[in-house]
Amino acid sequence: MNQNLVELKGKDILIVDDTPDNLRVLSSILIARGCKVRKALSGKMTLTICQSTLPDVILLDVMMPSMDGYETCIALKADLRTSQIPVIFISALSDVMDKVKAFEVGGADYITKPFQVEEVAARIAHQLTIKQLTEELRRSNAELEQFASIVSHDLQSPLAGVVSLVEFMQQQYDGVLDRDGQDCLQEIAATGTRMSRLVRDLLNYSRINAKPLEFESVDCNKILEEARANLLYDLLSSGAKIVSGKLPAVEGDRTQLIQLFQNLIGNGIKFRRPGVTPEIQVSAIAKEGQWVMAVRDNGIGIPPEKRDRIFEVFQRLHSSEEYPGHGIGLTTCQKIVRRHGGNIWIESQTGEGTTFFFTLPSTIDN
């Protein structure tokens, strides 16, 4: 027996079935194992019961009048409060497609009737174990992110202090220090600036999940303008051009979308081919109720065998001597897109350029 499975004793199980006899059988089995059992005779009743106290697991019949098990599960998953409760379908329907549908609507497991008592108990314990581990993982991720955020936030001002003191010394002692002394100060200033950027990027990265999303209708043309303004120095120093047609409005968090555009366009400028003026094209097409956005550059491209790595944190394909950076930008982009319910992927030709595609939710007014 797996000693790590969560115990059923004391767990709050909600059984949903429109046939009272079925409810009785299942509930007596679970009560005998020390569970606290609540019962519902319909989908509607399930939603009402969940509003008072959330059960640990729901055992849900599929065939019920008016609101069937699938519809009930969809409603549970659509509500943020109830979406994390594992739903185990229990049904006499044994067709593969019925089972597949159960998983498609968000079910965690499917048991066919007639069931074995041991099997039901084991499957419930299994779902409770997964739920507990997921919660632990979420908690420890949140703690880690908070830790990174506090550390980088607290490092920001002393670092800025060091950088400005060094700049002050460079001005004040110009001509007093010998060549070695001046080189030393320059190196300290450059290292300090690099560290400040790293700290800023880490802080941005850790804030993505920490901050609650503020979804609103956002005009991507304005987002692009803001990203362009933030990249003014890179644009002017490289002579890069940004080309775009009319972009749509999307449903999203304004600050995070600016960051997303800025990182992708910034990379398009940074990873340019020597002697080639960077040109970044931004476009969008509507597809299946959402927007597929594309940021295309004419830079160095990414070799096929290395494409899987680029979204991982701190993964870089080049040294910082070749191209400055810390490998946080694309992880941040992926996190932002995923938080918006979308995907991000690339197409690239080595030596010709790269296109980053990502999906964003359409607004209601589009």
Residues in the interface with ligand ADP (CB under 6 A) total 20
Q: Does 316 bind ligand ADP (CB under 6 A)?
A: yes
Q: In the numeric block, which tokens belong to residue 239?
A: 């002579």
Binding of ligand ADP at residue 69 (CB under 6 A)?
no
- Near ligand ADP by CB under 6 A: residue from 261, 271, 357, 358: 271
| Candidate list 325, 335, 336, 362; residue touching ligand ADP; CB under 6 A | 325
Provide the 8-state DSSP code for 6: P
**Smallest gap from residue 316 Cβ to ligand ADP (A):** 4
Span near ligand ADP by CB under 6 A; candidates 84-92, 100-108, 181-189, 328-336: 328-336
**Taking the complex as a whole, how short is the minimal distance between the CB of residue 296 and ligand ADP, in angstroms?**
9
Name which of 83 and 277 has its Cβ closer to ligand ADP.
277
Q: Which one-letter amino acid corresponds to residue 162? A: V
Strand (E) or helix (H) holding 280: strand 279-287
Query: What minimum distance in Å lies between the beta carbon of 150 and ligand ADP?
Result: 23
What Rg, from alpha-carbon coordinates, does the chain have? 27
Instruction: Specify the residue, 75 or 195, whose C-beta has the smaller distance to ligand ADP.
Output: 195
For 224-238, letters b (16+ CB in 10 Å) and e give bebbbebbeebbeee
The one segment of 71-79, 148-156, 284-292, 293-301 that binds ligand ADP by CB under 6 A: 293-301
d(CA 67, CA 43): 5
Rounded to whole angstroms, how far apart are CA atoms 316 and 294? 22
Beta bridge partners of 217: 251
The whole-angstrom separation of Cα 92 and Cα 73 is 17
Residue of 125, 18, 115 lying closest to 72 (CA atoms): 18
**According to the binding rule CB under 6 A, does residue 299 interact with ligand ADP?**
yes
* Token output for 305: 């065998």
Pick one of 329, 336, 357, 358: the residue that binds ligand ADP (CB under 6 A): 329
27 lines the binding site for ligand ADP (CB under 6 A): no
Q: Which of 107, 192, 278, 327 binds ligand ADP (CB under 6 A)?
A: 327
Contact status: 278 vs ligand ADP (CB under 6 A): no
Contacts by 137-142, CB closer than 8 A, 24 or more apart: 141/209, 142/209, 142/210
Residue with smaller CB distance to ligand ADP, 329 or 342: 329
Which token pair is 360? 């964003």
Q: How far is the CB of 267 from ligand ADP (least distance, A)?
A: 4
Asked if 300 is part of the footprint of ligand ADP (rule: CB under 6 A), the reply reads: yes
Q: What stretches of 37-111 show up as alpha helix (H) in DSSP?
A: 43-52, 69-78, 96-104
CA distance 91 to 70: 11
Q: How far is the CB of 230 from ligand ADP (least distance, A)?
A: 15
Place of tokens 């159960």: 102
Of positions 24, 138, 318, 338, contacts ligand ADP by CB under 6 A: 318
152 binds ligand ADP (CB under 6 A): no
Q: How far lies 52's CA from each of 49, 57, 82, 322, in Å?
A: 6, 15, 11, 59
Question: Taking the complex as a whole, how short is the minimal distance between the CB of residue 56 and ligand ADP, in angstroms?
Answer: 40
The residues of the shown chain that bind ligand ADP, judged by CB under 6 A, are 267-268, 271, 297, 299-300, 302, 310, 315-318, 325-331, 354
